[in-house]
Amino acid sequence: MMAENMTNRALFTPGHFGCPGCGAALAMKYALETLGSDTIVVMPAGCWSTLIGIYPYSCLTVPVISVAFETTAATAAGIKAGLEIQGNDHTTVLAWAGDGGTFDIGFQALSGAAERNDDILYICYDNEAYMNTGIQRSSATPAGGWTTTTPASALKPQKKKNIMNIMAAHGVPYAATASISDPQDLAAKLQKAMTIKGTRFIHLYASCPTGWRHAPELSIDVARMAVQSRVFPLYEIIDGETWHISPMPEKTPIAAYLKAQGRFKALNPERTAAFQCSVDNEWENLLKKSQAA
């Protein structure tokens, strides 16, 4: 239908339960466009395991297994081992988990798989909270971000966990950030990932109008603003050592990004300044690492 490498059947079909404007839905659509039909998806509890459809129906026409919350990377490793021992080394095993299932409850399994360098492609679609269960905080929620368990009376003090640093520390062959606002960048990164064996990790920014409290038509634009203001810069890490930023963001100030989202309504000027400061510092660190090559 759209991309040249789509096979005969549409891999992502309409009628799913995603909210209007769902960033996670876009994320999967983009991923499958590049990965193609020779893909098996391992999907834990999360927005996707609900929006995919209701038994016995599913909006995806690739094989999908809906697994227990913590087990994404472990199940994926098992599938890959099973395929390989049966002589299949071409099918992509895609671990597809949200931020909760990656940063928190699924973290151990991810670390285990990464340490073993299991040959799986792990994509974390990050909407920065436990959205499926009603917008509760995860360790991926940014500091000051409203959620139901970090309400205005008790906003989250901790910064967003830096999952990319952690994956780099595991020395995985390929890790990259990507965003639903830059589908071509994501496609290129997935193409690259598909040529590499071992644990490949993509941290994919997926806006959520319902949880972030922005108008549904702004889903892509909010992600775009996140990238351009360096809240969520796009970069790659090769073998845990070489950092490469691409493309270089425009460095717009974060005000427009924050203003578009109701979840940052409670940020007073002091917190906003702290937010900008934090973004600037992280950017400097990233820049240093990319220049160290």
Q: Which of residues 164-183 bind other proteins (CB under 8 A)?
A: 183
- CA pair distance 234, 205, nearest whole angstrom: 10
- Assign 92 to helix, strand or coil: strand
Residue 79 in contact with other proteins, rule: CB under 8 A = yes
**Residue 109: which of 49, 67, 50 has the closest Cα?**
67
Tokens describing residue 131? 């959205």
Amino acid identity at 59: C
Q: 193 near 217, Cβ under 8 Å?
A: no
- The least distance separating other proteins from the CB of residue 218, rounded to whole angstroms, comes to 7
The residues that bridge with 202 in the sheet, in sequence order, are 123, 176
Q: Which of residues 15-74 bind other proteins (CB under 8 A)?
A: 15-18, 20-23, 25-26, 29, 37-40, 42, 49-50, 52-68, 70-71, 73-74
- The least distance separating other proteins from the CB of residue 289, rounded to whole angstroms, comes to 27
Residue 147 or 210: which CB sits closer to other proteins? Answer: 210
> Binding string, 234-273, against other proteins, x = CB under 8 A?
----------------------------------------
- The least distance separating other proteins from the CB of residue 38, rounded to whole angstroms, comes to 5
Of 133, 186, 212, 219, the residue at the interface with other proteins (CB under 8 A) is 219
Pairing of strands 242-245, 200-205: unpaired
Residue 116 or 271: which CB sits closer to other proteins? Answer: 116
Q: Which residue reads 């969520």 in tokens?
A: 232
> Rounded to a whole number, what is the largest CA-CA distance in the chain?
59
Amino acid identity at 47: C
Q: 117 near 73, Cβ under 8 Å?
A: no
**Residue 274: which of 186, 112, 195, 156 has the closest Cα?**
156
Residue 117 in contact with other proteins, rule: CB under 8 A = no
Residue 287 in contact with other proteins, rule: CB under 8 A = no
- The least distance separating other proteins from the CB of residue 109, rounded to whole angstroms, comes to 5
Residue 150 or 219: which CB sits closer to other proteins? Answer: 219
Of 6, 116, 188, 194, the residue at the interface with other proteins (CB under 8 A) is 116
